A = this chain, B = another copy of it.
Amino acid sequence: MAKSKTRYAVLGMLAIEPMSGYQIRQLMQMSTANFWSESDGQLYPALADLTKQGLIVSKGMQKKDAREKKMYRITAKGQTELAKWLKQEAETQTVRSEFMLKLFFGANVEPEVNLEHVQVFRHRLKSKLARLLEIKKQVEREDKDSPHFPYWIMSIEHGIKQSMAQLEWCDSVIRTLEKMKH
């Protein structure tokens, strides 16, 4: 298995602005969810790890309970580490789509079954596209002057273009499957 990139995902989020772990999770869901996400079981240990290595520091009130909100911020050392990673070429990842695999084996069941799957897939794409367009508007409103602005728009545009292409593909596939029914 490839080396975990969780540390860099966290580092990058904290390079945007100081945040708590919970806020990182929320921001990821809002921004990178379409191409990157982390679960709790990855996120919190990563924060502890990065702190131990001095790449981030927590301004948390470590009094008694520890069950309190901890605000983290990236250090100069962390910025350097992040930049170093950003300069390296990205590894190609292996994608896995159960939906596509099922369609590939589609001849083993009636066309109706596959048609149903494609329609569900299409519906999900529609929602995803609507969400992306919404987020794009929000970013254009709120982050116009941020240095991150062009990059955030690019990543949103990527999702939009992908979704639109896939929707067109769905429509073409649905037509073919409709014809196969009779």
A52 interface residue, CB < 8 Å from B? Answer: no
Contact A87 B104 (CB under 8 A): no
Contact B104 A155 (CB under 8 A): yes
By a CB distance below 8 angstroms, the chain B residues around A9 are 101
Interface centre among A31, A86, A166 (most CB of B within 10 A): A86
CB-nearest residue of chain B relative to A109? B86
Contact residues of A: prevailing secondary structure: helix
A148 interface residue, CB < 8 Å from B? Answer: yes
A102 interface residue, CB < 8 Å from B? Answer: yes
Interface centre among A79, A92, A150 (most CB of B within 10 A): A150
Taken together as a complex, chains A and B put the C-alpha atoms of A157 and B101 apart, in Å, by 14
Q: A97-B93, A99-B90 are in contact. Are A151 and B105 (CB under 8 A)?
A: yes
Measured as residues with beta carbon below 8 angstroms from the partner, the interface class of chain A is: 35 or more
Per-residue contact bits, chain A 107-120, to B (CB 8 Å; 1 contact, 0 not): 11100011001001
Q: A82-B105, A89-B120 are in contact. Are A114 and B161 (CB under 8 A)?
A: no
Contact B161 A101 (CB under 8 A): no
Residues on A facing B (Cβ under 8 Å): 5, 8-9, 12, 15, 31-32, 34-37, 79, 82-83, 85-87, 89-109, 113-114, 117, 120-121, 124, 146-148, 150-152, 154-155, 157-158, 161-162, 164-166, 168-169, 172-173, 176, 180
